[in-house]
Amino acid sequence: MKRLMIVLLSIFLLVSVLSFSALATKVEINFIEAYTNPNRKILLKEIISDFEKLYPNIKINLISPPYEQATQKIVLMLSTKQPLDIVEVKADTIGLYVGNNWLFNLENYLAAWPDSKTLLPAAWQLARTVDDTAYIIPSTVYSRTLYYRTDILEELGVDSIPKSIQELFEVCKEITDSSKDQYGFCFRGKNQQIDNIHYLVLPFLDDLNTTNLYRKTDGKIIWDDPRVVEALKLYVRLFKETSPKDSINWGFNEQINAFGSGITPIILQDADFIGACDETIGRGKFMMAPTPVGPYGKVYVILYFPSLSIASNSKHKEEAWEFIKYFLSPEVNAYYTKNNSLLPIHSVTFEDDPYFSSGIFTPWAYMMKHPEMYVLGQPPVVSPKYAEWMQVSNNDLQSLLLGDISVEKLVNKWVEYWQ
């Protein structure tokens, strides 16, 4: 009896010690996303649970604030030192977070990470956006490209896809016939119109400072340059003569519908457009082409890059880094981007993965191979004025398209804003 008691007691002690130590070593880390959407959340949870199977002592809590309030929530949490470990960072907040010392310097981690060698040069460049130091790592990298309806353009007898902005205007104008309800360019006027300007006006200059595209290499502001004025006039014509009047109110949903119904078979859009098109019209009916270049044969490619970072006051940086390594490894990254209609960040994925090296993704490969034509650049996203700028510029551009102000007045206003 006594022996039995001792054995049972020992077993009990052993089990408690083991479970206690298991509890003690189970680490909980908090991962807050900034681009919450229902589909992606499921994808993330899937990836997280796969990770947790590989690392049973790490548990990840996903915090998913609604997209419109995400930045404010992250800012509140970081400024009051809430326990956050992995933070998803939007491009327009990197400067803010680093400036407040909220992000951890990832250079050492990156140096010791084998997979970092296959990261795209663009990914490296973007990671080092602030202070030339990697505080973030992009989880995807893409820019706007040209999409077109292969079937509609064939019907309309268009046999060459525009390579330059001027060609874009001419092709769109040719196929526009408002009496038949057929237009050319799928405009987006509701919000983020400044992106249109980045792609359709900036290429008309060849001496831009690529770290701040709103300044020329001689330091002057670009907006009152006569070439910009000409480009803006073309922009207005593109809207007035090749796009439905209604498109000044179009957002993403309206664009999908217009592109899908064929009213406007040509559009400049981001990679997440692919998923929407797959759903509405199917992969076979559309194709991508490289972003149209300006008269100098160049276009400034502004990369969109949601990225991951580690909070500087995180108490579990090692564990956070384990997850980031996992999430951004070529295999998992390929899986994530494939299911989210995004682009991967490793060059090996483009070379080896059949999905990414063919079909509609070939334009991107072309663009990566010709950096002299497709020049990487950034508008001043790190400026504290940039958040307000998005709204201000949209207001002004709408007024411009409605004819309420002239091009001259607009550029003067913009020069003053960025002075």
Partner 1 sequence: MIKSDNSKIFLVMIFPSLISVILLTFVPILRSFFIAFQNYNFHDLSNIHFIGFENFQAVFNSVNFNFSRILLNTFLWITVSLFFQFVLGFGLALLMKEPFKGRGVYSGLVFYPWALSGFALGLIWAWMFNGQFGIINDVLRKIGLIHQNIGFLSDTRYSLISVIIANIWYGIPFFGIMLLAALQSVPLELYEAAEIDGAGYFIKLFKITIPYIKPTIISTLLLRTIWIMNYPEIIYAMTGGGPANSSNILSVQMINKIIKFLNFGEGAAIGVMIIITMCIYVIIYLKIVSREELTF
Partner 2 sequence: MKIIKKFMKFIALMLYLILAVIPLYWIIITSLKDIKEVFVFPIKYLPQVISFESYRKLFVFTNFAIYFRNSLMVALIASFGALFITVFSGYAISRCGFKFKRSILISLFLTQAIPGFLILVPLYTMFAKVGMLDKLPSLMLLYINIMIPFSAIMSKSFFDRIPISLEEAAQVDGCSRVQALFKIVIPLTLPGLSAIFCFCFINTWNELFLAVMFINSDPKMTIPVALNSFISKIGVGWDILSAGIVISLIPTLVIYAFAQRHIVAGLTGGAIKG
Closest CA to 250 of 260, 271, 156, 199: 260
Token digits for 233?
Answer: 């006039």
The residue from 51, 55, 73, 373 that contacts partner 2 (CB under 8 A) is 73
Q: Which of 43, 392, 407, 415 binds partner 1 (CB under 8 A)?
A: 392
Torsion-angle region of 132 (φ positive above 0: left; ψ -120 to 50: alpha; else: beta) = left
Asked if residue 341 lies in contact with residue 274, where contact means CB atoms within 8 angstroms, the answer is: yes
CB closer to partner 2, 178 vs 210: 178
What phi-psi label fits residue 189: left (phi over 0), alpha (psi between -120 and 50 degrees) or beta? Answer: alpha
Minimum distance, C-beta of residue 35 to partner 2, in the bound complex (Å)? 6
Contact map string, positions 78 to 107, toward partner 2, x by CB under 8 A: --xxx-------------------------
Contact present, 232 and 407 (Cβ < 8 Å): yes
Of the listed pieces 66-74, 127-135, 165-173, 348-356, which binds partner 2 according to CB under 8 A? 66-74
Strand pairing category for 137-138 and 145-149 = unpaired
112/402 with CB nearer partner 1 = 402
Q: Considering CB distances under 5 to 8 angstroms, the limit depending on partner class, which of partner 1, partner 2, none binds residue 14? A: none
Phi first, then psi, for residue 298 (nearest 5°) are -130, 155
Binding mask 128-167 for partner 1 (x = CB under 8 A): ----------------------------------------
Residue 240 interacts with partner 1 (CB under 8 A)?
Answer: no
3-state secondary structure at position 232: helix
Among 280, 398, 406, 412, interactor with partner 1 by CB under 8 A: 398
Give me the 245-274 binding string for partner 2, x by CB under 8 A, dash otherwise. ------xxx--xx---x----------x--
Q: Does 391 bind partner 1 (CB under 8 A)?
A: yes
Checking DSSP bridges between strand 137-138 and strand 307-310, what pairing results, if any?
antiparallel
Q: Say how many Å lie between the first and final Cα of the chain, rounded.
A: 89
Q: What string marks each residue from 253 to 282 as x (binds partner 1 by CB under 8 A) or -?
A: -x--x-------------------------
> What minimum distance in Å lies between the beta carbon of 96 and partner 1?
5
| Amino acid type, 228 | V
Strand partners, 374: 299
194-233 footprint of partner 2 as x/- string (CB under 8 A): ----------------------------------------
Strand order in the sheet with 145-149: 266-269, 145-149, 286-289
Q: What number of other Cβ atoms are within 10 A of residue 333's Cβ?
A: 23
- The closest of 377, 419, 334 to 126, measured between CA atoms, is 377
Q: How far is the CB of 64 from partner 2 (least distance, A)?
A: 6
Q: Using CB under 8 A as the criterion, which residues of the chain lie in contact with partner 2 when the complex forms?
A: 30, 32, 35-42, 61-69, 72-73, 76-77, 80-82, 251-253, 256-257, 261, 272, 276, 280
